[in-house]
Amino acid sequence: MNKNLQWKLLAVVAVTALAVWSFYPPGQKVKLGLDLQGGVHLVMRVQTDDALRLETETSGERLREALRTEGIDVTDVAPVDVTTFQVTGVPRDRDTEFRRIAQDRVGATFDREPGVEGTYTFRMKPNIAVRTRQDAVTQAIQTIERRVNALGVSEPIVAPQGTSGDQILVQLPGVTDIARAKEIIRSTALLEWKAVEGGPAATREALLQSSGGTLPSSMEIVPGVDDAGTGTTVYYLLRRAPVVSGNQLRNARPTLDEYNMPAVGFTLSQDGGRRFAQYTGANIGRRVAIVLDGRVESAPVIESRIAGDGRIQGTFTQQEVQDLSLILKSGALPASLTYLEERTVGPTLGADSVRAGVIASLAGLSAVALFMLVYYKLAGINAILSVVLNLVILLGFMSYIEAVMTLPGIAGFILTIGMGVDSNVLIFERIKEELKTAKGVRSAVAAGFDRVFLTILDTHIASMISAGFLFQFGTGPIRGFATTLFFGLLSNVFTSVFVSRTLFEIYLSGRREASLSI
Amino acid sequence: MRILTNVNIDWLRWRWHTLALSWIVILAGVGLVVARGLPLGIDFSGGTIVVLKFEQPVTEEGVRRAVEDLPGEEVVQTYGPAEDHQILVRLAELVTEEGASLEQGALAIGAAIDASGLGKYEIISTEIVGPVIGRDLQRKGIYATVAALLGIMTYIAFRFRLSFGVGAMVASLHDVLITLSFLTFFGYELSLNVVAAILALVGYGVNDQIVIFDRVRENLRTMRRDSLDKVINLSVNQTLPRTVITAGTTAVAVLSLYLFGGVVLEGFAFAMLVGVITSTYSTVFIASAIAVFLSQRGRTRTRAAEPATGNDAKNRKAGRRARAS
Q: Are residues A504 and A460 in the same domain?
A: yes
User: Are A307 and A356 within one domain?
Assistant: no
Choose between A154 and A23: higher pLDDT.
Answer: A23
- Residue range B3-7: mean pLDDT, rounded: 75
The CATH number fitting domain B47-129, selected from 3.30.70.3400, 3.40.50.2300, 3.90.550.10, 3.30.70.890: 3.30.70.3400
pLDDT digits (tens, 9 = 90+) for B164-200: 888 888 889 999 999 999 999 998 888 888 988 998 8
Residue B302: pLDDT band by 50, 70, 90 thresholds?
very low
Best residue in B216, B249, B317 for a mutation probing chain A (most A CBs within 10 Å) = B249
Using CA atoms, how far apart are residues B316 and B220, in angstroms rounded to an integer? Answer: 10
Looking only at the bridges linking them, the beta strands covering A404-405 and A31-32 are parallel
Window B:248-267, CB contacts with A under 8 Å = 248-257, 259-262, 264-265
Average model confidence (pLDDT) across chain A:
84
- Residue B321 predicted with pLDDT over 50: no
Q: What's the rounded mean pLDDT across residues B261-283?
A: 91
**DSSP assignment of A211-242, as one string?**
TTSS--TTEEEEEEE-TTSS--EEEEEEESS-
Residue A134 lies in a domain: no
**Same structural domain for residues A351 and A474?**
yes
**β-strand pairing of B47-54 with B86-91:** antiparallel
Distance CA A84, CA A102 (A): 14
In this complex, is the C-beta atom of A166 within 8 Å of any C-beta atom belonging to chain B? no
DSSP per position, A436-478: HT-S-HHHHHHHHHHHHHHHHHHHHHHHHHHHHHHHHH--HHH
Q: Which of the 8 DSSP states describes residue A303? A: -
Our CA-based measurement puts residue A496 at a distance from the nearest CA of chain B, in whole angstroms, of 14
Residues A337 and A394 in one domain: no
Per the CB < 8 Å rule, is B196 touching A364? no
Angle between the N-to-C axes of helices A441-473 and B192-222, in degrees from 0 to 180, rounded to the nearest 10: 140
Average pLDDT over residues A492-515: 86
Lowest mean pLDDT across A27-36, A205-214, A451-460: A205-214
Q: For an interface test with A, which of B45, B245, B280, B320 has the most A Cβ atoms less than 10 Å from its Cβ?
A: B245
> For residue A100, what are the domain limits?
48-129
| Residue finishing a domain among A341, A374, A399 | A341
Weakest-pLDDT range from A77-86, A274-283, A320-329, B196-205: A320-329
- ipTM score of complex: 0.84
Specify whether A256 is located in the same domain as A270.
yes
- Least CB-CB distance to B262: which of A353, A430, A453? A353
pLDDT of residue A227: 61
Cα gap B241→B205, rounded to integer Å: 16
* Among A348, A313, A485, CA closest to A35: A348
Give the CATH number for residue A54.
3.30.1240.20
Distance of CA A335 to the CA centre of its chain: 16
> Residue A385 maps to which CATH number?
1.20.1640.10
Strand A244-245 to A120-124 pairing: unpaired
Q: Which of A341, A368, A391 is the last residue of a domain?
A: A341
Domain ranges of chain B: 11-38+134-320, 47-129
Judge if A298 and A416 occupy the same domain: no
User: Is the CB of residue A418 less than 8 Å from the CB of residue B288?
Assistant: no
Mean pLDDT of B143-165: 89
Average pLDDT over residues B32-43: 84
B157 interfaces chain A, CB cutoff of 8 Å: no
Contact call for B268 and A377, based on CB within 8 A: no
Kindly report the average pLDDT of chain B as a whole number.
Answer: 82
Q: Is the pLDDT of residue B311 over 60?
A: no
Q: What is the pLDDT of residue A229?
A: 57
Selection from A11-25, A103-117, A239-253, B212-226 with the highest mean pLDDT: A11-25
The model carries a pTM of 0.79
How does residue A491 score in pLDDT terms, banded at 50, 70 and 90? very high
Query: Does the residue A514 lie in any domain?
Result: no
Proportion of chain B above pLDDT 90, given as a percent:
17
Kindly state whether residues A293 and A369 are assigned to the same domain. Answer: no
CB-based contact B144 A452, cutoff 8 Å: no
pLDDT at B99: 47
| CB nearest A451 (choices: B147, B245, B322) | B322
* A490 in Cβ contact with A464 (< 8 Å): yes
Does the pLDDT at position A19 exceed 50?
A: yes
Contacts 24+ apart (CB under 8 A), A164-167: A165/A133, A165/A134, A165/A137, A166/A45, A166/A46, A166/A48, A166/A133, A166/A137, A167/A43, A167/A44, A167/A45, A167/A46, A167/A340
Pick from A125-134, A275-284, B142-151, B264-273: least confident:
A275-284
**Interchain contact, A425 vs B272, CB within 8 Å:** no
Q: Closest Cα to residue A167, out of A136, A126, A129?
A: A136
At residue A358, the pLDDT reads: 92
Share of chain A above pLDDT 70, in %: 96
Q: Determine contact: A354 vs chain B, CB below 8 A.
A: no
Query: Range with the lowest mean pLDDT among A7-21, A252-266, A299-313?
Result: A299-313
What is residue A395's predicted lDDT score, i.e. its pLDDT?
Answer: 92
Give the CATH number, domain containing residue A226: 3.30.1360.200
C-alpha to C-alpha distances, B189 to A277, A315, A370, B69, B256, nearest whole angstrom: 64, 48, 34, 24, 21
* CB–CB contacts below 8 A, A to B: 244
- Give the contacts of A152 (CB within 8 A, at least 6 positions apart): none
Out of A52-56, A121-125, A305-309, B42-46, which region has the weakest mean confidence (pLDDT)? A305-309
In a domain, A250, yes or no: yes
In a domain, A387, yes or no: yes
Are A364 and A335 within one domain?
Answer: no
Q: Are residues A244 and A334 in the same domain?
A: yes
Q: Please compute the mean of the pLDDT values over residues A237-245 and round it to a whole number.
A: 80
**DSSP code per residue over A53-110:** HHHHHHHHHHHHHHHHHHT---SEEEEEETTEEEEE---GGGHHHHHHHHHHHHTTTE
Is A263 in the same domain as A204? yes
Residues A362 and A423 in one domain: yes
Structural domains of chain A, count = 3
In a domain, A136, yes or no: no
Give the rounded percent of residues in chain B with a pLDDT score beyond 70: 88
Q: Identify whether A68 is part of a domain.
A: yes
Give the residue-averaged pLDDT of A454-475. Answer: 88
Cα separation values, A314 from A199, A206, A361, B10, B26, Å: 17, 24, 57, 86, 65
Band (A307; pLDDT cuts 50, 70, 90) = confident
Boundary of a domain, candidates A84, A103, A129? A129
**Does domain B11-38+134-320 fall into CATH 1.20.1640.10?**
yes
Of B28, B22, B29, residue with least CA distance to B278: B22
pLDDT at position A1: 63
For residues A355 and A502, state if they share a domain: yes
What does the pLDDT read at residue A228? 59
Reported confidence tier of residue A375, pLDDT bands at 50, 70, 90: very high
pLDDT of residue A211: 66
Whether B317 has a pLDDT exceeding 60, the answer reads: no
* CA A502 to chain CA centroid, nearest Å: 46
Residue A60 is predicted with a pLDDT of 85
At B308, the pLDDT band (50, 70, 90 cuts) reads: very low
Tell which residue, A215, A69, A274, has the closest CA to residue A61: A69
Q: Is the pLDDT of residue A247 over 80?
A: no
Is B265 in Cβ contact with A408 (below 8 Å)?
Answer: yes
**How much is the average pLDDT of B42-53?**
88
